[in-house]
Chains A and B, each alone.
Chain A
Amino acid sequence: MSLVSGSADLTPPVRVGMTRVRSEPSSAGVEDYFALLKPRVMSLVVFTALVGLTVAPGHLHPVLGFASLLCIAIGAGAAGALNMWYDADIDAVMTRTAGRPIPSGRVAPGEALAFGMTLAAGSVAVLGLVANWLAAGFLAFTIFFYVVVYTVWLKRSTALNIVIGGAAGAFPPMIGWAAATGGVGLESVLLFLIIFFWTPPHFWALALCRADDYARAGVPMLPVVAGCAETRRQILIYSLVLVPIGAAPWLLGYAGLAYGAIAIVAGTLMAALAWRLKNAGEGRDAAQLAKRLFAYSILYLFLLFAVLLIENRLGVLFASGST
């Protein structure tokens, strides 16, 4: 991994026309490499993986649990770095991403590729040694899915890119569960489904605000391909599907009443916001509503997983207190 100055530039992405071939010493700071890890996405991955790991039956030593979460976080960061390496051409023409380390020229493409590959291999290997090889296999598949299936294939070829590609973001609770139990449970699949059906309305709400950006970059996001009205309709459909799926852990007896109540209320609010967005038409109000839905969707997911975590911890606390 060439993090030192004076290192030769490695191969830039083949399709990329914008990336410069850099011959001067690296001017990348530590913060640039940190940015390659997509820390905000990583925080969501860590949190959902933590919930999967915690609510799983059985006991994992806290140190091993921490190490497993660290591996999952680094694996997610590696996937982010590889995504930025491949998407540097797209990032360069989008306002939101033009300042990222590669398009801005602070990190050479080859350095980002080496950084991402090293972290990916290391995180998978260490997770296998610390927890088990099923969890490590899950992590490896997640990185592969995000980088190859989503970034390389789907993102540039179909409007369903984030529907199918959203699976990559939905795997972390299953990885956490697998790290704790060595298996796959129905409850972990439910957690997967919640994030899977949450991703399209969450991401399309953002895409509605950035449709011009995506069109300029040639990315076939739904608002670009099918228009904003169809996107708002799809957001509503997925939000409506999300309500029962969000409440499923309670309906199937895996979560308590508090979770069930919050999942139904929060899910209904999300569907109501999506309904308002669908009927908002075009203009500034619609853009504001899309931004509000985007922000609320983050709160919704956080709330669901946080309540699940709290209920589980309280249950453990009361169970140990009653014995």
Chain B
Amino acid sequence: MDDKDSDDGIVLTEEQKRRRRARSIAIALSLGALVLLFYIVTIVKLGPGVLNRPL
């Protein structure tokens, strides 16, 4: 890593920062899609029963 491994830790290049950002966005979008999928699947599988529970 040449002189990048300083005492302050690893310093990322601009390209590495760009790729990390792209990965972070992809993970965020995937998690968002999963949340949406679970929500829709829950509604489809349970239908109105999703609200029907003993209080």
Contacts and interface: CB of A to CB of B under 8 A. Distances in A.
Interface string A19-56: 00001111111100100000000000000000000000
What class of interface size applies to chain B in its complex with A?
A: 10 to 19
A170 B53 CA distance: 42
Interface of A: 3-6, 23-30, 33, 61, 63-64, 67, 70, 129-130
B22 A30 contact: yes
Q: Is the interface of B mostly helix, strand, loop or mixed?
A: helix
Given A25-B12, A63-B40, A63-B44, A4 B20 contact: yes
A272 to B, nearest CB: 46
B23 A67 contact: no
Interface string B14-51: 01110110111011000000000100110011000000
Contacts of B22: 29-30
Given A5-B12, A6-B10, A30-B26, A130 B19 contact: no
B23 A28 contact: yes
Given A23-B1, A63-B44, A130-B41, A4 B15 contact: no
B41 A64 contact: yes
Interface of B: 1, 9-10, 12, 15-17, 19-20, 22-24, 26-27, 37, 40-41, 44-45
B44 A5 contact: no
7 contacts: A4-B24, A6-B10, A25-B16, A27-B19, A28-B23, A33-B23, A63-B41
B18 to A, nearest CB: 9
Given A6-B10, A61-B44, A64-B45, A26 B20 contact: yes
B16 A27 contact: yes
Contacts of B45: 64, 130
Given A5-B12, A23-B1, A24-B1, A30 B44 contact: no
